[in-house]
Amino acid sequence: MTQRTTITKGIDRSLIWLWFILCTIGVMSIFAATYREGENVLQGFISLKTDYSRQSLFFIIGGIIGIFILLTDSKFFTATANLWYAFGIVLLLLVFPFHTNIKGTKSIIRFGSAFQIQPVDMCKIFVNLALAKYLSRIETDFARPRSQLIAAVIALVPAMISIMQNETGLALVYFSFFLVMFREGLPSSVLIIGASLAVLVVATLLVEPNTLALVLTGIAGLAIYIVRKQIKRHKNVLYLIISIWVVCVGVQRFAVPFVFDHVFQPYQVKRIYDLIGKDYVPKSEAAALEIERQLQSGTKKKGGSDNYNVKQSKIAIGSGGVIGKGLLKGTQTRYDFVPEQRTDFIFCTIGEGFGFVGSVIFLAIYLLLLMRVVTIAERQRSVFSRCYAYGVASVFFFHIIINVCMTIGLAPVIGIPLPFVSYGGTSLLTFTVMLFILVRLDADRQMVLR
């Protein structure tokens, strides 16, 4: 009895409840997406052969692990954060010799036939811990660029490794840690520059190159005209504007085409073009052949033609209407029109089955979770816990918006799962562990952890 009080003491029940609700919705959605008429539901759940039964199993395992985490001392996490990070990097590197090639990704290690792990997925927890640890060090003065650089390196090393493992989507997740750094005092200019760069890249894709160059030149000219008085006093302003202009045109003329042609895989370029509704014409014969080859061999990750995926996904969600067709009534999701619908496109099942109302309620639960995590973050005494909580919020946020935007045609197809809902053991356990560590840390919010 006493033990029980220690577990539950200071625990934020709302987070546990949100976790429970989301996982339940997840199992139900997977059931709706994969159940076939005539199957025995009970047998399906017991046999562990169906996707929904496995997801339920992982749900239960997640709960047990969660209890263990709640029983752990909070100091354990601060003490071992760097160790975990080192472990994560080693695990990531182990993938190179031991990976199994599944659906084109090289990021999965298999044990036997049934069990497999994807280190890049789990590494999120370790990075989050290590980053929080680094930011909470007394020696760290985050105002210094050197510290900012180190923080960025901590976050982006696993991302680089996972890009090398053909797992670009999950690599992108690590960029979400910039939100943590932003909270901890990263200059706004970094975010503004980042956002401007993003706008520039999008503009490069959408606008004809020469027109864009002209527009950029026009903006630069206008800026010089407006600040002409300052220029008279400080020549440096003029140089700054000119150098910005040079960088912009350089990005637009050379950097983006270079990245598209040499860094991205042709199929990734195609996905981006699909999103903005342009036909991707490969520059070289070789690139065209490469796309063809990837399509043929399924090297391209997950599913059939992306355009087809997104189209079917939009049809499924769009046909849901206001209140949806009801559970197990959706014709699109029931009959495999949407590929990968139990994993990355699970949101279609909810969109088609429960319509606009259901989708908004579902997303509102997520928003509630995010807001709650931010609130919890702000009530921490220790920087470590706060940073960790923001890390959780950032990673969840990134996963949710990229995944949902992908299914409704607002983002390119990046195969990352919807937290707690998408089918997949690693993903469910990773998110669960992340959340429960937060709950544990929050229970000790009065402590100062380093």
Partner 1 sequence: MPVFNQSRSNIIRLIFGAVFLVIFAQLFNLQIFSSKYKKMAQENALFPKRIYPSRGIIYDRNGKAILNNTIMYDLMVTPSQVKNIDTGYFCELLGIDTAEFRNRMFDARYKNGPFRPTIFEDLLPPDLYAKLEENLWRFPGFNLQERPIRVYPFNAAAHIMGYVGEVDSNTIKRYNYGYQLGDYVGRSGLEQSYERVLMGRRGIEFWIKDNKNRLVGHYENKSSDTAAIAGKNLRTYLDIDLQQLAEKLLSGKVGAIVAIEPKTGGIIAMASGPDFDPNDLTGPDKQKNYAKLALDVSAPLLNRAIKGLFAPGSTYKPLGALIGLDEHIITPASGYPCLGVYYGCPHPVKCDEHNPGHAANLRLAIAHSCNSFFSNTLRLEIDNPEYRSARKGLTKWKEYLNAFGLGHRIGVDLPSEDGGLIPDTSVYDKEYHDQWNSCTMVGGGLGIGQDKMSVTPLQMANAMCIIANKGYFYIPHLVEKIDGVSTDSSLLSRYLQKHEVLTHIADDVYEVVMSGMQDVVEIGTARVARIPGIDMCAKTGTAQNRLVLDNKAVYLPNNSMFVCFAPRENPKIAIAVVIQNAGYGATWAAPIGSLLVEKYLNDTLRPGRVAEVNRIAGTNLMPKYLVRVQFKTDSIRAAEWARQTGDSTRWLKYQDPVFRRVSLDTFHLNNAQPVQLKTPVMKPKEIPTIVPPDSVTN
- Per CB under 8 A, the list member of 223, 408, 426, 447 interacting with partner 1 is 408
- 54 or 302: CB nearest partner 1: 302
Please state the closest distance from residue 321 (CB atom) to partner 1, in A: 6
- 182 part of the interface to partner 1, by CB under 8 A: yes
- Per CB under 8 A, the list member of 315, 327, 328, 447 interacting with partner 1 is 315
- Per CB under 8 A, the list member of 184, 274, 340, 344 interacting with partner 1 is 184
Q: Are 420 and 62 in contact (CB under 8 A)?
A: no
Window 46-105: residues binding partner 1 (CB under 8 A): none
- 267 part of the interface to partner 1, by CB under 8 A: no
- 164 part of the interface to partner 1, by CB under 8 A: no
Query: How far is residue 409's CA from residue 307's CA, in Å, rounded to a whole number?
Result: 10
Q: Are 103 and 166 in contact (CB under 8 A)?
A: no
Please state the closest distance from residue 49 (CB atom) to partner 1, in A: 21
- Per CB under 8 A, the list member of 337, 345, 431, 436 interacting with partner 1 is 337
Tokens of 153: 């390196």
- Per CB under 8 A, the list member of 103, 106, 253, 314 interacting with partner 1 is 314
Q: Are 256 and 231 in contact (CB under 8 A)?
A: no
Tokens of 272: 């981006």
Residue 131's nearest CA partner among 175, 93, 162 is 175
- 383 part of the interface to partner 1, by CB under 8 A: yes
Please state the closest distance from residue 361 (CB atom) to partner 1, in A: 11
Window 385-404: residues binding partner 1 (CB under 8 A): 390, 393, 397, 401, 404
Residue 335 is given by DSSP the state T
Contacts with partner 1 by CB under 8 A: the residue count is 47
Tokens of 131: 């980053």
- 183 part of the interface to partner 1, by CB under 8 A: yes
Q: Are 338 and 332 in contact (CB under 8 A)?
A: yes
Query: How far is residue 142's CA from residue 137's CA, in Å, rounded to a whole number?
Result: 10
- Per CB under 8 A, the list member of 282, 370, 372, 447 interacting with partner 1 is 370
Phi and psi at residue 107, to the nearest 5°: -110, 10
- 351 part of the interface to partner 1, by CB under 8 A: yes
- 31 or 337: CB nearest partner 1: 337
Please state the closest distance from residue 330 (CB atom) to partner 1, in A: 9
DSSP per position, 378-420: HT-SSHHHHHHHHHHHHHHHHHHHHHHHHHTTSS-----PPTT
Q: Are 319 and 336 in contact (CB under 8 A)?
A: no
- 318 part of the interface to partner 1, by CB under 8 A: yes
- 225 part of the interface to partner 1, by CB under 8 A: no
In terms of phi and psi (left: phi > 0; alpha: psi -120 to 50; beta: otherwise), the region of 10 is left
- 285 part of the interface to partner 1, by CB under 8 A: no
Q: How far is CA 199 from the centre of its chain?
A: 20
Query: How far is residue 155's CA from residue 104's CA, in Å, rounded to a whole number?
Result: 25
Cα first-last separation, the chain: 31
- Per CB under 8 A, the list member of 382, 422, 430, 432 interacting with partner 1 is 382
**Positions in the binding site for partner 1 (CB under 8 A):** 37, 179, 182-185, 312, 314-322, 331-332, 335-337, 351, 355-356, 359-360, 363, 366-367, 370-371, 374, 377-378, 381-383, 390, 393, 397, 401, 404-405, 408-410, 448
